[in-house]
Structure 1
């Protein structure tokens, strides 16, 4: 199963396309792919662009991006 960042990259049409679409440089997106999560400040943009929920892009930050079914 692909990670959320891999799915986001695919949805956007590749690393370069995702980077351009959200206004970051390609190495940033490549770094996210390597570490497995999107940079915090870019989660809303990536989520809006790709439709991937923020809580999937940053599961390590449940207080910032809670799962819709969780009780926070």
Structure 2
């Protein structure tokens, strides 16, 4: 299932790497797509929404909304 997160605080490729790495630490097979301009992170994963949100939060970014696609 793909879950889309609206995320604040991402502005560069380092941010993309940090978010992607944090998510993949919890689900090594997750597919992660980051749209910096829109502030969106789309994750195709079997992990729970809460686990993925926590990963983004732990990387230092703020999830402001979650939507299933």
TM-score of the pair, normalised by structure 2: 0.36
Report the structure number with the largest CA radius of gyration: 1
TM-score of the pair, normalised by structure 1: 0.36
Larger helix proportion, structure 1 or 2? 1
Larger strand proportion, structure 1 or 2? 2
> RCO higher in 1 or 2 (8 Å CA, sep ≥ 6)?
2
